Amino acid sequence: MSSIVLTRGSLVLAVLLAAPFLAVFDGFALNVALPSIQHDLGTSVAVLQLAVAGYAVSYAACLLTAGRLGDAFGRRALFVGGLTLFSLASLAGAVAPNQLVLIAARVLQGAAAAVAYPQTLALIRANFTGRDFTRVLTIFAATIGLASLAAQLLSGLLIEADVGHLGWRSILMVNVPIGLIASATALLVVPESTSSRLASFDLSGSALGAITLASLVAPLVIGREFGWPLWAWLMLAVSAVALVMLLRHELHLGRAGGLSLIASELLKDRFFLLGLTATLLLYSAQVSFFFQMTVYLQNGLRLRPFAASLILAPQAFGFIIAALLARRLQSQPRRHLAMAGAGVLVVSMLWLVRLVLNTTAGSDPTPLALAMLLTGMGFGLVIPSLLEVILPAIPIAHAGSGSGVVVTVQQVAGAIGIALLGLLLFTLRPFAVAVAVSLGCEAALFGLAGLAVRMMDRGSPYGR
């Protein structure tokens, strides 16, 4: 819709980006505040982990259903409803008098974020085309990167500033005006988008999807904290069985002509499935990388949170530089840029391996900051380019379902990456060797992501 882009495009985009920014920001921000919350509420770290896990589990469990509901009942309606609920849940968490209220608020936040986030990608898919689509995806990807960085920078600053004696509560309070203003503005400037009305809803698929994702993400997020007890392994087994049942159910419903939770066309599209594979590999390495470097800089090099954030900050500049460069290379296939970005990430991980093995507390941090700059450039090439390859393969009629699948894979990938590479990080000794081995594994994952992109066909059954 070129008219939208020309007259209200910037405002529409700013409103749509509020959901992914807040969802990612809150996924990271509260981790920084855990010691402050523990002191304020007088609770244990193990209980606080439930607040972190509650957000992640409810977020993952609701993504698939929310994406499909957007297709049927209106993507703008789900976006506004989800963002409004997210704001109210944030307010509840900010004024929580005890840990039980905080955990409940975080669970509600995660579910609300899952309702709003997939609608952003679906509405982008429905409203922007051509070069505007490329520009928007670049900004979208940059927003996600900046949200994770802002979570680390702003959280520390807000806690230390203690504005209004709110302490950690100010982190959640920030969401309230942003979410409510974005929700109200969306009703005015974002056009509604829908594909069809549901004659019947796939309740079985929704239940199986929720069981699959909840039983997968929960043990991955908190299993290590509790020493990988029996219940964690049983939940992983349940997740595997539920996934098989979900896929069989969705394919059967699709063949019968029903409206499945996951569009059957997508499950049969080799191009889309390879794109999801690349996404799984990329995000499992990316999310674990952010987690790992934060731990390394603070625990390994003994830096304060804000000082560690300053070393990570060049990633944002590298991302912007690479994204602007990619925009100038419009004639180049997006697949090639994604592969190039994966290659840059492999090089930067290997460089970091060398730096980690030769850096000690008190060393000059400049080389690490330069490596972060190169890493950001890799992300700036691969993330928007990969999205630009995958999203046009989704038929507009199934934009919500397809976007929900993409975001779900991103969320699950992050949980898997942190669980598996976190196991290496906290098991191997000495610590520098553990970090180096983890970085080597991330280099391999980035390389495999590039290979998956290489295997994708030049075209898609649906085009742009």
Please report, rounded to a whole number, the percentage of residues in the chain having pLDDT higher than 70.
Answer: 92
Whether residue 459 is predicted with pLDDT greater than 60 in this model: the reply is no
Residue 182 has pLDDT above 90, yes or no: yes
Among 172-176, 407-411, 457-461, the range with the most confident prediction by mean pLDDT is 172-176
Task: Please state the rounded mean pLDDT for residues 235-261.
Answer: 84
The CA distance from 358 to 338, in Å, is: 31
Highest mean pLDDT among 153-157, 258-262, 420-424: 420-424
Helix, strand, coil percentages for the chain (3-state, nearest 5) = 85, 0, 15
Q: Which two tokens stand for residue 9?
A: 């495009």
**d(Cα 456, Cα 464) in Å, to the nearest integer?**
16
Element of type H or E holding 176: helix 175-189
For residue 322, is pLDDT > 80? yes
CA atoms within 13 A on the CB side of 32: 32
- Answer yes or no: same fold for 1-186 and 263-464: yes
Mean per-residue pLDDT of the chain: 84
pLDDT tens figures, 3-56: 444 456 788 899 999 999 998 888 777 776 777 787 888 877 667 777 777 888
Q: If we measure between CA atoms, which residue out of 402, 406, 434, 404 comes closest to residue 421? A: 434
Q: Which of 41-45, 252-256, 374-378 has the highest mean pLDDT?
A: 374-378
* CATH architecture entry for 1-186: Up-down Bundle (1.20)
Q: Is the peptide bond before 430 cis (omega within 30 degrees of 0)?
A: yes
Asked if residue 63 has pLDDT above 60, the reply is yes
Q: How many CB atoms lie under 10 A from the CB of residue 433?
A: 13
Q: How far apart are CA 362 and CA 359, in angstroms?
A: 9
| The predicted structure's pLDDT at residue 239 | 94
Band of residue 461 on the pLDDT scale cut at 50, 70, 90:
very low
Helical pair 99-127 and 18-32, crossing angle rounded to 10 deg: 150
Please tell me which residue, 126 or 282, carries the higher pLDDT value.
282
List the chain domain ranges: 1-186, 203-261, 263-464
The residue to which tokens 């290659």 are assigned: 343
Could you tell me the pLDDT band of residue 434, with boundaries at 50, 70 and 90?
A: very high
- Determine the topology of domain 263-464 in CATH: Growth Hormone; Chain: A; (1.20.1250)
Q: What does the pLDDT read at residue 85?
A: 97
Higher pLDDT, 458 or 423: 423
pTM of structure: 0.81
Average pLDDT of span 170-185: 93
Contact between 399 and 196 under an 8 Å Cβ cutoff? The reply is no
Q: Packing angle between helix 203-222 and helix 230-255, nearest 10 degrees?
A: 150
> What mean pLDDT is predicted for residues 198-224?
81
**Cβ–Cβ under 8 Å, residues 91 and 75:** no
Residue 239 identity (one-letter amino acid): S
Query: Can you give the pLDDT at residue 1?
Result: 44
- The yes-or-no verdict on residue 202 having pLDDT over 60 is yes
Q: What is the DSSP letter of 164?
A: G
Output the pLDDT for position 167.
84
pLDDT of res. 232: 92
pLDDT of residue 230: 94
Question: Could you give the percent of the chain with pLDDT greater than 90?
Answer: 33
> pLDDT band at residue 374, thresholds of 50, 70 and 90?
very high
Q: Is the pLDDT of residue 187 over 70?
A: yes
Q: Is 330 exposed, middle or buried (0-12, 13-18, 19+ CB in 10 A)?
A: exposed
Residues 6+ away with beta carbon under 8 Å from 168:
30, 33, 36, 37, 40, 158, 159
pLDDT tens digit string along 124-150?
A: 888 887 778 878 887 887 787 778 777
Name residue, tokens 């889309």.
Answer: 272
Q: Is 399 helix (H, G, I), strand (E, B) or coil?
A: helix
pLDDT at 227 over 50: yes
